[in-house]
Amino acid sequence: MKSNENSSSARIGELSPRKTVTRSVRAASPRQLFARLHPRLARWFRETFATFTHAQLLCVPAALHRHSILLTSPTGSGKTLAGFLGVFDFLLRKIDKQARTGAVRRSRTSQRDVATGVQCIYVSPLRALAYDIEKNLRAPIAGMGLNKELSIHLRTGDTTQASRAKFRKEGAHFLVTTPESLAVMLAQEDYAAHFRNCQFVIVDELHSFAGNKRGADLAISLERLERLRKERASLLCRIGLSATAAPL
């Protein structure tokens, strides 16, 4: 049976164990959203998709304003891309700003030389889903010609030692991982430099973390991440995605 994407719903606000204040979200129009997106991102989206889904019209405007958001939407409604569109917009504007100011990317020869560090962490409850997302992320990066500017690190229990060593040395803008691997990384001091500038966390299949030990451990990891960040005045933008979480 084909799902009704208009059954998508979302709430935005401050989402953390310390404080949770939310309100419902109204969807933007496609015209409004295209006008808000970075031109490079808007052009890639127009060339790739017919239009935005209802889930994207709900989620993306909130992410553009760095509001944390809980989005529930049926499978196949584009909710995962909805979570990443705001991240791409942020990174494109950061790249533009660096170009205008003549900022030179430092040589990444050690963990102290990581120019930007991880900007977005994507957390999946399943390794298979993490592998799919890492692969899917490469399409917009290539489509916008950002292969030299943006990098991805996939981290699970199966990640090779060579890949782990490369991340320690060079860092990455996107970290795609599982709760357990994230907890291990956050507990190791030699990874701390990579997380100091993190701006976004996307937690997929959020319902799978509700009321269990994995969820409690993930909440602790996110609080540890907050403490590592240099920009503590602005809270981490947390984006929760689910096909079944209800009610919001």
Contact 58, 25 (CB under 8 A): yes
Q: Report the candidate in 63, 40, 61 with the shortest Cα–Cα distance to residue 52.
A: 61
What's the mean per-residue pLDDT of the chain?
A: 86
Asked whether the predicted pLDDT for residue 134 surpasses 50, the reply is yes
Q: What's the CA angle centered on 96, arms 39 and 90, to 5 degrees?
A: 70
Q: Looking at residues 179-193, what average pLDDT do you find?
A: 94
Decide if 247 is inside a domain.
no
Q: Is residue 208 assigned to a domain?
A: yes
Sheet holding 19-24, edge to edge: 19-24, 9-16, 68-72, 237-242, 200-203, 120-123, 174-177, 152-155
In this structure, is residue 20 part of a structural domain? yes
Residue 21 lies in a domain: yes
**CATH number of the domain residue 125 falls in:** 3.40.50.300
pLDDT at site 15: 47
> Confidence class of residue 234 from pLDDT cuts 50, 70 and 90?
confident
Please check whether residue 248 lies inside any domain of the structure. Answer: no
DSSP 9-68: EEEEEEEETTEEEEEE-PPPPHHHHHHHS-HHHHHHHHHH-SS--HHHHHHHHHHHTT-E
What does the pLDDT read at residue 230? 80
Range of the domain at 75: 5-103+111-242
What's the pTM value of the predicted model, to 2 decimals? 0.87
pLDDT digits 0-9 by tens, 208-225: 999 999 999 999 999 999
State how many domains the chain has. 1
| Terminal Cα distance for the chain, rounded | 24
Assess contact for 97 and 140: CB atoms under 8 A.
no
- Whether residue 121 is contained in a domain is answered as yes
CA 126 to chain CA centroid, nearest Å: 16
Which pair of structure tokens corresponds to residue 32?
Answer: 């409004």
> Residue 237 forms beta bridges with which residues?
200
Distances (CA, A) of 136 to 2, 32, 187, 236, 246: 23, 26, 28, 24, 27
Write down the H helix ranges in 144-202. Answer: 161-170, 179-186, 192-195
Length, in residues, of the chain = 248
Distances from the Cα of 132 to the Cαs of 22, 138, 223, 238, in angstroms? 31, 10, 27, 21
Question: Residue 42: what residue type?
Answer: A
Residue 127: burial class (beta carbons within 10 Å; 0-12, 13-18, 19+): middle
Considering the domain boundaries, does residue 85 fall inside one? yes
pLDDT tens-digit series, residues 96-119 = 988 887 754 444 433 333 357 999
Distance, CA of 114 to CA of 215 (rounded, Å):
30
Domain-located, residue 36: yes
In this predicted structure, the answer to whether residue 23 has a pLDDT above a threshold of 70 is no
Residue 4 pLDDT greater than 50, yes or no: no
pLDDT in tens, 157-182: 999 999 999 999 999 999 999 999 99
